[in-house]
Amino acid sequence: MSNPWNNRPPRPPGNPPDRRRPPRDAEARPPQAPAPRDERPAGGARDELRLYGLNAVQAVFARRADAIRKVYLTESRIQALKPLLAWCVKQRVGYRVVEEGDLDRLAASTHHEGIVADVRKIEPLPMSDWLRALPEGKPVAALWLDGVGNPHNFGAILRSAAHFGVAGILLPRDSTLAISGAAARVAEGGAEQVPLVRMGQADNAAAQLRNAGFSLAATVVRGGDDLFAARLPQRLVYVMGAEGEGMDARLADACDTRLSIPGSGAVESLNVAAATAVFLAQWAQRAR
């Protein structure tokens, strides 16, 4: 008796591509979401800044939510960021829940605290606009940063400036100092509180400030008046020097006074960010 199975037509070699079964282990494995791709143009959008850190991003959301363009966060941050995510949905701003390692790559840092956001930059104000907006009849302090460049020092300065109510950070005309992701994270929200101001030529800027009632105080390691004994004016600009080299000697000579922080002498001086906090604390105490 013939076997009917032997009478089947021959099977064509191979299976059609759409009918081939995947290996058993691949069938059981759930599909994996691709790692987030940096969707900004090469080199980043010129008007955008990539921020990271919970307080840095929350400060942007609180003060200028419309500047937020994209948000990345870990699952562990969803609860804390529900208002931000609800706003993103309402405004059709994209956000993605990603893994910790993805944020490491997006922020180029492990200190992102579970949140990264692309936001619109704020450009420094012209000096004349800033002066016109200052309150009349109230104490005002500002910081003139002469050569400060380290982003972590800058962030710490911004944090102290926000804490003590500084009216502005004055940047020389040719300074490349700007808010960065690292500076904003260290500032813990202070980068959104204190305006940056672009000055013109140093002598013209000093004249503008004096015409507006400010005195300029050079902050020097040694040879200045004792900060804790000095009388501080109600409108004061502290001129802070660069890390390491200190402030430019010609600029120090052009200031109205020189101030130093007395210490034990065990170390040569304070870090510029730490010194800024001491100077501002003393001004705030005297300005009450």
Decide if 129 is inside a domain.
yes
Distance CA 218, CA 223 (A): 11
Residues 6+ apart with CB under 8 A from 245: 147
Beta strands in 106-256 (DSSP E): 115-120, 125-126, 140-146, 168-171, 196-198, 215-219, 225-226, 235-241
Residue-wise pLDDT tens for the chain (288 aa)?
444 434 445 554 544 444 444 444 433 433 444 555 555 554 456 799 999 999 999 999 999 999 999 999 999 999 999 999 999 999 999 999 999 999 999 999 999 999 999 999 999 999 999 999 999 989 999 999 998 989 999 999 999 999 999 999 999 999 999 999 999 999 999 999 999 999 999 999 999 999 999 999 999 998 999 999 999 999 999 999 987 777 888 999 999 999 999 999 898 889 999 999 999 999 999 887
Residues 88 and 162 in one domain: no
CATH of the domain at 103: 3.30.1330.30
Full domain range(s) for residue 67: 48-120
CB 118 within 8 A of CB 95: no
CATH of the domain at 240: 3.40.1280.10
Kindly report whether the global pTM for this prediction surpasses the value 0.85: no
Distance CA 115, CA 102 (A): 11
Separation in Å, CA 131 to CA 142, 174, 190, 198, 240 = 11, 20, 21, 12, 20
pLDDT at residue 21, as a whole number: 47
Residues 178 and 237 in one domain: yes
Residues 150 and 208 in one domain: yes
Domain end position, chosen among 120, 139, 165: 120
Decide if 277 is inside a domain.
yes
Residues 152 and 233 in one domain: yes
pLDDT at residue 265, as a whole number: 87
For 88, other C-beta atoms within 10 Å of its C-beta total: 19
Decide if 177 is inside a domain.
yes
Residues 110 and 196 in one domain: no
Residues 129 and 113 in one domain: no
